[in-house]
Chains A and B, each alone.
Chain A
């Protein structure tokens, strides 16, 4: 079975400060890892993914994430937060070797960036 944990329901950060949204995962094989963002009354927008290769992945809107196999983590980061980054963020995992194309989502983390 595959699972994702986002340990923080909410993260508060001041504008201009760095932000981190945490994600840990569990799969039996090798993972495909994704981050999505959901703005109010909108669907999910794809931010970035890790499939293979460099552990540091860069994505949309200045976001990046670091794959850490030993810690089974894929934390989302941004060097300087913007108020417009305030949204709901979801981490998701898919097992390369099993479960077909099923994507399992974490519970979501609400990011609040204050001016």
Chain B
């Protein structure tokens, strides 16, 4: 597998502000994804981060609320904009396309976000 890191690991933010979460992987990967895990819930895919082009968003998620960047094959950011308490969740990035295991998604440790 790969070493995947996320920053910050947790944060407490005020309503109306924005937070950018970083995801770094130690080897080049084909695909990177962003998920949300609301308290006590399963994982929901927010979007696929595409290198060199706009992210592909799932139903219910929009670019204005969750802008995503992917400048290269090892790094991506997710911004949670104009936050409300309903955005309190764990945000996870995942990667797929490692040379040693192309079929499997591996996950970062997550960013626990609390919005007051």
Evaluate contact between A42 and B109: CB separation under 8 angstroms: yes
Task: Name the residue of chain B whose CB is nearest to the CB of A45.
Answer: B107
Q: Please, which residues of chain B bring their CB within 8 A of the CB of A45?
A: 107
Residue among A44, A46, A100 making CB contact with B92, cutoff 8 Å: A44
Q: How distant is A16 from chain B, measured CB to nearest CB, in Å?
A: 29
Task: Name the residue of chain A whose CB is nearest to the CB of B30.
Answer: A101
- Scoring A residues 27 to 45 as 1 if CB is less than 8 Å from chain B, else 0, what string do you get? 0000010101000011111
Evaluate contact between B104 and A46: CB separation under 8 angstroms: yes
Give the interface segment out of B12-20, B40-48, B76-84. B40-48
Q: How distant is A36 from chain B, measured CB to nearest CB, in Å?
A: 7
How many B residues are at the interface, by size bracket? 20 to 34
Q: Please, which residues of chain B bring their CB within 8 A of the CB of A103?
A: 33, 45, 105
For A41, A43, A46, A102, the residue with the greatest tally of chain B CB atoms inside 10 Å of its CB is A43
Task: Name the residue of chain A whose CB is nearest to the CB of B58.
Answer: A102
- Scoring B residues 63 to 101 as 1 if CB is less than 8 Å from chain A, else 0, what string do you get? 000000000000000000000000000001010100000
Q: Given contacts A105-B43, A108-B42, are A46 and B96 in contact (CB under 8 A)?
A: no
Distance A101 CA – B29 CA, assembled complex (angstroms) = 14
Evaluate contact between A42 and B110: CB separation under 8 angstroms: yes
Asked if A22 CB lies within 8 Å of chain B CBs, one says: no
For B4, B41, B105, the residue with the greatest tally of chain A CB atoms inside 10 Å of its CB is B105
Evaluate contact between A32 and B45: CB separation under 8 angstroms: no
* Contacts of A7-32 to chain B: CB distance below 8 A: 32
Evaluate contact between A46 and B103: CB separation under 8 angstroms: no
Q: Please, which residues of chain A bring their CB within 8 A of the CB of B4?
A: 43
Distance A101 CA – B103 CA, assembled complex (angstroms) = 9
Task: Name the residue of chain A whose CB is nearest to the CB of B108.
Answer: A43
Task: Name the residue of chain A whose CB is nearest to the CB of B111.
Answer: A43
4 additional A-B pairs beyond A103-B33, A105-B42, beta carbons within 8 Å, are A32-B103, A49-B104, A90-B43, A100-B48
